[in-house]
Amino acid sequence: MCNTAAATLKADTAVLLEYVLENLSWALRYEQVAPKQVTQEWLDKARSGEAAGFIHLSLCRRQLIRLLNTWAEDLEGRSGTATEVAKWIKLALLHFKSYLAYESAFAPASGAPARLRDDPDALQEKLAGSEDKSDDDPLDVLKLAVTNKTAQAVMDFAYDVLSSTYDKVFAEELKTTALKDIAWPEV
């Protein structure tokens, strides 16, 4: 799968494979998937007639983050405010260039997986609040250092992309469109 994607995306197979493996390691560590679910069919659902397996979705996420970087690079060549916005966006996107960078920037301070959405008691405790700043949402803390609103919006979007928020949208798009042909602005 990564060989085929590398050929169509004009990318290095090893780079794509490394990205997919980092994503898989992250998903296992943060209990997004159980080890027993990781099968060849789950990784590449296209083999069973479905459009999007884990590998396809992982590569979609990578392509979208790369597109954001490309847009920022295009803005750099312009003058005035565009150059300033590009600088902030590129700085913000450093935290999303790989799952290792993403995890480093956004892992809970305790190092343990954040399963608050599945544990109402833990969520209530968090919402009750504490003065311990190590428990603040890492994305919110990082956004405080980024004064550009466009870059903050890009960070929110990139965070959602890597945390699989848009996987259903990607899977739907992959039913009718090859990864290399996705018109991202229209998705």
Instruction: Report whether pLDDT(22) > 90.
Output: yes
pLDDT reported for residue 132: 47
Contact 24, 38 (CB under 8 A): yes
CA 175/CA 169 separation, integer angstroms: 10
pLDDT reported for residue 26: 92
Q: With residue 43 as reference, give the H or E element that holds it.
A: helix 40-43
What are the pLDDT digits (tens) for 126-176?
Answer: 445 444 444 567 888 888 888 888 889 999 999 999 998 998 888 888 888
User: How much is the pTM?
Assistant: 0.76
pLDDT reported for residue 138: 81
Contact 54, 47 (CB under 8 A): no
pLDDT reported for residue 2: 67
Q: Minimum mean pLDDT among 38-52, 65-79, 84-98: which range?
A: 38-52
What share of the chain in percent tops pLDDT 90? Answer: 21
Helices (H), 46-184: 54-76, 81-93, 99-106, 120-128, 138-144, 149-162, 167-174
CA 173/CA 11 separation, integer angstroms: 21
What are the pLDDT digits (tens) for 102-115?
Answer: 988 887 654 444 44
Contact 54, 43 (CB under 8 A): yes
Q: How many domains does the chain contain in total?
A: 1
Mean pLDDT of 36-55: 78
pLDDT reported for residue 121: 53
Q: Which domain holds residue 26?
A: 2-186
